[in-house]
Structure 1
Amino acid sequence: MAHAPLNAAEEADPRPGPAGPKRRLTELALGAAWLVGLAAGLQIVSVLLSSSPLAAALAGAVVADVVAARAGVQWTDPLEREGPDRRARVARRVGLGAALGALAVLLTLGASVVLGWATVEAGAPSVGFGFAVARAIALAVRDELLLTGIPFAAAARAGLSARAALVFSALAHGAALGLAPGASASSFALATALGALAAALFLRGRGVFAAVAVHASFTALAGAGLRGALLDATWVDGALATGTQAFGRPAWLGAALLAILAALALRAGAPQPDRPAR
C-alpha cells in the first residue's frame, strides 16, 4: 500500500560532487512527474464519474493508492510494520488526526460566534451525513497520497530534509486549490495550512493514517457538519468551509489555528510509545 521510509533521506548518498545535485534534480523531476501525472488521471476520473460525487471520490482514492505505491509511497514506515501493538498505534494516530481536525473547526466556529461573524443552531443529523463522511475520507486518501505522500517520497529519495518536504507538501495543497475557479487568498491560506498540519502528522506518525484522518475530519465537519448535519452555521462575515467556499475572516482564522496546530505537532515530534522495540 501507499510514503517512502522517513529515514530514506538519511540513507541517501551523502558524498559531494557533481552527481549529488544531478541526482537531486532527477529525483525531484520524477516526483513532479508522478504528481502531475496522477493529478491529471484523477481529473479524468472525476469528469467520467461527475454524476456521482461519492463514486468519483472512491475511484479517485483507489487510483491514487495504486499509482502512489508505484511512486514509492507507503502507508506506514517499513520499520513499524511489525509488533503486536501495530493496530493500536494506527488507531492512536487516526484518533489524533480526527481530533485535531475537529478541534480546528470547533475553535474557529466558536471564535467566529463570539466575534459576531456567525450564528449557530443545532442541526438535524441524517443518513446523508454518513455519505458525506465517506466521501470526505475518500477525498482525504486521494489528496494525502498525492499531495503529501509523493512529495515526501521524492524528497527522501533526493536526500532532502523532511522539513523541506513538508513545505513542498503544504504549498502543493494550496496550489491544488489555487487552480480552481473562485479561489481566494483566504481559501488558499486555509488549504495550505491544512496541508501543513497533514504533512506534520505524516512526519510525526511515520505514515499517512493521521494525515488522512485530519484532512477527512476537517472536510466533513467544515462542510456538511456545519451545514445542518451536526450544526447549522449562518455566516455573517466570511465563511469557514471547504475548498473555494471558504473566504474572509473565518477562513483566515481557521488557517492560523491550523498552522499553530501544525507547529505544535512538529514540536512534539514522534511519540516514543509508537515506536516498536528493536
Structure 2
Amino acid sequence: MAHAPLNPAEAAGPSSGPRREQRRLIDLAIGAAWIVGLAAVLRLTSLLLSSSPLAAALAGAVVADLAAARAGVQWLDPRERADPAHRARVARRIGLGAALGALAVLLALGVAVILGWARVEAGAPSASFGFALARAAALAVRDELLLTGIPFATAARAGLSSRYALGFSALAHGAAIGLAPGASAASFALATALGALTAALWRRGRGAFAAVAAHASFIALAGAGLRGSLLDATWADGALAAGTRAFGPPAWLTALTLAILAALILRPAAPRLRRPAP
C-alpha cells in the first residue's frame, strides 16, 4: 500500500540520495564528536577527583547522563512509557542484566576451579561491599551511556541498522581498556566481550537498564566480590578481575563466557505457535 513520505528526503525522490548520504555522514561525525568530547570530560573529572574513587565514579555518571541526554540517548524507549506496565518490565530487565553479569563471573570461576586455575574460599561480607557496589553502578552508568548509548542513538539518527552500533560498542569497550596502562590482550578481549553482552541487552531491551545492570553486576562481583567481600579467590594461573587486572586463562575463559551469553541474547526468538481455532 502506498504511504505518505515520512520525511523531506523521502519526498524528494531518488535525487535526494546524495543529500541523505551527506546527512548520514554528518550524523556519524556528530556522534563521534560526542564520544570523544565526553570521554575527555570524563577523564578530566576522574583526574580532579582521583583522591576519592567513589566520588569520581558518581560524578562521572552524572556528567555522562546529562551529556548523553543531549546527544539523544534515552534510558527507555519513549513508546514504552505510555504502557502502564513499563515499570514492571524495567524491573525484569534490571533483574535479567544483573543475573547475566553475575552468571558470567560464576560460570568462569567454576570452570577455573575445576581446571585448577583458582581456589575459592568463603569471604567476609562487610559494609565496604556496599560502597564497591555503588561505585560499580556509577561506573556502569558512565561507560554504558558513553560507549553503548551514544553509538545506538547515533546509528538510529543516521538511519543505520543497530547491528553496526552493537559492533562499534563492543569494540569501544575493548578500546577503553586496551588504551589503559597495564592492559593485556586477555583484558582487551574480556572488555570487548562484556561490551558485546551489554550492547546486546541494550538492543534487546531498547534502553539502558539491562545493560547497566549487567555491567555493574559483573564488575562488582569480578572485583570486590572475589577479593574477600563475597568470595576469596586465589589464582594459580592468571586472574579474573575487572579492568586491566584480568589476565591469563581465566580472563580468556570469562571473555568466551560473555560472548556466548551475548550470542544467546541476540538469537532470534522462536515463533509462537498459534492454537487452532475450535
Compute the TM-score of the two structures, normalised by the length of structure 2.
0.91
**Are the equivalent residues in 2 in contact too, given 1:204–1:270 (CA < 8 A)?**
no
Which is greater in Rg? Answer: 2
Considering Cα pairs closer than 8 Å and 6+ residues apart, tell me whether 1 or 2 has the greater RCO.
1
Residue by residue, what CA displacement relative to the aligned partner does 1:136-159 show, whole Å, maximum 9, x if unpaired? 000000000000000001111111
C-alpha change, 1:270 and 1:243, in structure 2 (3 Å) is farther
Residues 74-89 of structure 1 mapped to structure 2, 5 A cutoff: 74-89=74-89
**Are the equivalent residues in 2 in contact too, given 1:61–1:138 (CA < 8 A)?**
yes
Whole-Å separation in 1 of the counterparts to 2:85 and 2:9: 33
Q: Residue type of the partner of 1:112?
A: A
Is 1:150 matched with 2:150? yes
Q: Residue type of the partner of 1:34?
A: W
Partner of 1:250: 250
Whole-Å separation in 2 of the counterparts to 1:166 and 1:219: 20
**Are the equivalent residues in 2 in contact too, given 1:12–1:159 (CA < 8 A)?**
no
Number of residue equivalences: 263
Whole-Å separation in 2 of the counterparts to 1:11 and 1:109: 52
Partner of 2:194: 194
Q: Tell me the secondary structure at the aligned position of residue 82 of structure 2.
A: coil
Whole-Å separation in 1 of the counterparts to 2:61 and 2:205: 21
Q: Residue type of the partner of 2:182?
A: G
Whole-Å separation in 2 of the counterparts to 1:83 and 1:21: 35
Whole-Å separation in 1 of the counterparts to 2:245 and 2:47: 20
Residues 1-20 of structure 1 mapped to structure 2, 5 A cutoff: 17-20=17-20
Q: Tell me the secondary structure at the aligned position of residue 233 of structure 2.
A: strand
Whole-Å separation in 2 of the counterparts to 1:99 and 1:38: 29
Partner of 2:177: 177
Q: Tell me the secondary structure at the aligned position of residue 267 of structure 2.
A: helix
- Offset at residue 254 of structure 1 (A): 0.4
Q: Residue type of the partner of 1:264?
A: L
C-alpha change, 1:158 and 1:137, in structure 2 (3 Å) is same
Partner of 1:212: 212
Gaps of 5+ in 1: 1-9, 273-278
Whole-Å separation in 1 of the counterparts to 2:208 and 2:74: 8
Q: Tell me the secondary structure at the aligned position of residue 240 of structure 2.
A: coil
Partner of 1:127: 127
- Offset at residue 21 of structure 1 (A): 2.2
Q: Residue type of the partner of 2:211?
A: A
- Offset at residue 85 of structure 1 (A): 1.2
C-alpha change, 1:87 and 1:52, in structure 2 (3 Å) is same
Q: Residue type of the partner of 1:37?
A: G
C-alpha change, 1:48 and 1:18, in structure 2 (3 Å) is same
Q: Residue type of the partner of 1:61?
A: A
C-alpha change, 1:13 and 1:110, in structure 2 (3 Å) is farther
C-alpha change, 1:44 and 1:83, in structure 2 (3 Å) is same
- Offset at residue 11 of structure 1 (A): 8.1
C-alpha change, 1:54 and 1:193, in structure 2 (3 Å) is same
Residue by residue, what CA displacement relative to the aligned partner does 1:124-178 show, whole Å, maximum 9, x if unpaired? 0000000000000000000000000000011111111011110001001001111
- Offset at residue 12 of structure 1 (A): 10
Partner of 1:34: 34
**Are the equivalent residues in 2 in contact too, given 1:28–1:154 (CA < 8 A)?**
yes
Whole-Å separation in 1 of the counterparts to 2:172 and 2:154: 13
Gaps of 5+ in 2: 1-5, 273-278
Partner of 1:6: none
Q: Tell me the secondary structure at the aligned position of residue 181 of structure 2.
A: coil
**Are the equivalent residues in 2 in contact too, given 1:239–1:246 (CA < 8 A)?**
yes
Is 1:92 matched with 2:88? no
Q: Residue type of the partner of 1:227?
A: R
Whole-Å separation in 1 of the counterparts to 2:47 and 2:134: 19
Whole-Å separation in 1 of the counterparts to 2:192 and 2:181: 17
Superposed CA RMSD in Å reads 1.9
Q: Which runs of 4+ in 1 moved over 6 A?
A: none
Percent of pairs with identical residues:
77
Residue by residue, what CA displacement relative to the aligned partner does 1:31-80 show, whole Å, maximum 9, x if unpaired? 00000000000011101111100000000000000000000000000100
Compute the TM-score of the two structures, normalised by the length of structure 1.
0.91
- Offset at residue 268 of structure 1 (A): 4.7
